[in-house]
Amino acid sequence: VRSLLLWWDRFWFDGGSAVQLALLRIVTAVVSLWVLLSRDPAATSGFPPVFWKYVGRATRWRYMEFPGHLELERILQDAAILALFGVLLGVAPRVCAFVASLLLYHFAPYEAILWTSSPYVRGYDTPVIALAALAASPCGDVWALLEPRRAGLREPWEYAWPGRIVQVLLVCMYFFPGYSKLLDVGWGWASAENMRAWLLAFNQGSEATPFTAPGLWLAAHPALCEATGIGTLAFELSFPFVLFNRRARWVYIPGALLFHLGIYFMMNITVLYAIFLVVFIDRIPFGWWAVHLLTPLIGNGTLFCPGAE
Amino acid sequence: MMERASALLFAAFVSFAAIAALSGGKKQRIRWFIAFSAVAIVGPGILHREAWPFSRWQLFAYRYHPPVEGVTVRAVDAAGIERDIDRRAWEPFSNLDLHTWIKLHWKDLSGEERDTAARYLLDLVNRARDDALAGRQVGVYGRYFGTFAAPLHFVFRPIWLDAASTPPLRFAVLRIYHDSWDVEERARDSRNWHRELIYEGPK
């Protein structure tokens, strides 16, 4: 039991740095702002009541969403944007991260709430959880405008665990789709017939689909369809390796980007959570960027937080 | 039941985060937050239960069963010509969410409710058409970043790009169709699919 606890502690607390946590804070804020400013969730509150007819009471209470309060929702949306700018710039970043997490949870289902209470793959999955973790961590010790100055940095473990939480979340986003395919369909999911059928279904329907030729080409090659199915299951089910093996990241992270690129061209589907794969690019690249590129520009954070490092 | 359980799970998650934040960096409090987060993130996946933001990530976990079914909304202009609609016209609805809502719930609405919904949607479409003709941004998602706005899960190509590609007359009526097809039959002949009018209005 003791060695298990030691392993648990090492898993979550090893290898943190203030710069890396600040980068997680900035990436989370930038992605959240990008998504929020590319949508208008508050506007859903102003839809005629008929669109809300099938939204259950429990769902409304779960997300605290009550139609017909457009002005209030606009104020809350502006508050979420302000809070995210606070996180980005490091102006009371922990308080802002907590407020932003709650508000993004509130706004996340707005695009989808009319028919489902599970708004996944709409851009807020990672930010809601990452922001709550950032709120509980010293994410503004460097590269922050208004964080109280400290005489020095904290112990490395304090900076390590929020990135680990995001890594675990991302691993689930790849592993559980594979697990779901096996639970709901079985190994037959990867069959050439099933792959071909979905590729056809996604490329035969709409005249406004940007790419149809790549998906239809793949559908015409049964062996490639089967290889795609088997490869997808193998990739998803083995993705947890990236948590425990740094070398595996050199294969899986570029592999994930290729995977999403393939899905984009074959099925016209995007997933925004893939951006957060940058949390796996730790140590060498982030450290290298921070030391060689960013430090000359912003002084290793000391421009914003004198005496921090 | 799952709605309440999911709400409680998230409430507990943010409570643990708040306690860890207020503890001033006490390692034990942070350990509790981490342990709870790990269970909350992994648990719904293992149990195959949806509790967003703690999801089971049931992405594309389906076997194909014919037929493919979908909804298409088209608009009829003042001259009686039926035209395709630029997907940005629905914003702040996303195309996926609006079409899924129609597919799931349209049949259960009363005639008056359908007309109310159609009137609102027709107004959105006409506003988008006016914007496209005037060279303004169509829809609201691109208001800050234009074409660099965060993409939706399902990507569609804009079709009202300028005045020349935008229908010149205002729309008077929406038509909603239920489309269905078997993928193999349609692959053999692209005309092998079925379209049924389920609504025309508003009256």
CB contact under 8 A, B109 and A53: yes
Q: How far apart are CA B156 and CA B179, in angstroms?
A: 18
CB A129 within 8 A of CB A104: no
Task: Give me the residue from A50, A175, A268 closest to B109, CB to CB.
Answer: A50
Please, what sign has the CA dihedral across residues B92, B96, B97, B98?
A: positive
Whose CA is closest to A306, among A144, A95, A86, A92?
Answer: A144
Cβ neighbours of B37 in A, within 8 Å = 129, 133, 165, 168
CB contact under 8 A, B154 and A269: yes
Chain B residue closest to A155 (CA)? Answer: B25
Which of B2, B3, B119, B165 has the highest number of chain A CBs within 10 A, making it the mutation to test binding with A? Answer: B3
Query: Is 70 exceeded by the pLDDT of residue A300?
Result: no
CB contact under 8 A, B159 and A208: yes
CB contact under 8 A, B14 and A154: no
Question: 3-state SS string over chain B?
Answer: CHHHHHHHHHHHHHHHHHHHHHCCCCHHHHHHHHHHHHHHHHHHHHHCCCECCECCCCCCCCCCCCCEEEEEEEEEECCCCEECCCHHHHCCCCHHHHHHHHHHHHHHCCHHHHHHHHHHHHHHHHHHHHHHHCCCCCCCCCCCCHHHCCCCCECCCCCCCCCCCCCCCCEEEEEEEEEEECHHHHHHCCCCCEEEEEEEECC
pLDDT tens digits for range B120-178: 999 999 999 999 999 999 999 999 999 999 999 999 999 999 999 999 999 999 999 99
Which of B87, B97, B120 has the highest number of chain A CBs within 10 A, making it the mutation to test binding with A? Answer: B97
Cβ neighbours of A271 in B, within 8 Å = 153
Q: Which two tokens stand for residue A140?
A: 């503004």
Cβ neighbours of A70 in B, within 8 Å = none
Q: How far apart are CA A255 and CA A263, in angstroms?
A: 12
pLDDT tens digits for range B75-114: 999 999 999 999 999 999 999 999 999 999 999 999 999 9
Query: Is 90 exceeded by the pLDDT of residue A289?
Result: no
Provide the mean pLDDT of chain A. Answer: 90
Whose CA is closest to B94, among A128, A110, A84?
Answer: A110
Distance from CA of B133 to the nearest CA of A (A): 19
CB A114 within 8 A of CB B97: yes
Cβ neighbours of A108 in B, within 8 Å = 52-53
CB contact under 8 A, A180 and B58: yes
Tell me what percent of the residues of chain B surpass a pLDDT of 90: 97
Distance from CA of A195 to the nearest CA of B (A): 9
Q: How far apart are CA A73 and CA B75, in angstroms?
A: 31
What pLDDT score was predicted for residue A294?
Answer: 53
Cβ neighbours of B149 in A, within 8 Å = 37-38
Query: Is 90 exceeded by the pLDDT of residue A82?
Result: yes
Query: Is 60 exceeded by the pLDDT of residue A293?
Result: no
Chain B residue closest to A200 (CA)? Answer: B183
Cβ neighbours of A158 in B, within 8 Å = 25, 30
Q: How confident is the model at residue A100 (pLDDT cuts 50, 70, 90)?
A: very high
CB A58 within 8 A of CB B4: yes
Chain A residue closest to B21 (CA)? Answer: A136
Cβ neighbours of A154 in B, within 8 Å = 25
Q: How far apart are CA A160 and CA A309, in angstroms?
A: 17
CB B138 within 8 A of CB B132: yes
Tell me what percent of the residues of chain A surpass a pLDDT of 90: 80
Residues 6+ positions from A249 with CB-CB distance below 8 Å: A242, A280, A281
CB B142 within 8 A of CB B92: no
CB contact under 8 A, B61 and A154: no
Query: Within 10 A of B65 (CB to CB), how many other CB atoms are there?
Result: 7
